[in-house]
Amino acid sequence: MEYEVYRHNSADDEDFNRINQFYKQVLQEDKDLCNGAQKNLNNNIFINGQLHPEKEKDTVREHVMRHRAQEEKENGGKEIWPASPKPAKAMETGKLLEEELFCAGLVTGACQGPSELSQLAW
User: Residue 77 carries which side chain, given as an amino acid letter?
Assistant: G
Residue 115 pLDDT class (50, 70, 90 cuts)? low
Residue 100's nearest CA partner among 82, 86, 114 is 86
Q: Is the pTM of this model over 0.75?
A: no
pLDDT of residue 121 exceeding 60, the answer is no
Which pLDDT score is estimated for 22?
94
Structural domain boundaries in the chain: 85-122
Overall residue count recorded for the chain in this entry: 122
CA separation for the pair 31, 23 (Å, rounded)? 12
Residue 46 pLDDT class (50, 70, 90 cuts)? confident
Which pLDDT score is estimated for 119?
58
The number of C-alpha atoms within 13 Å of 72 and in the hemisphere containing its C-beta is 6
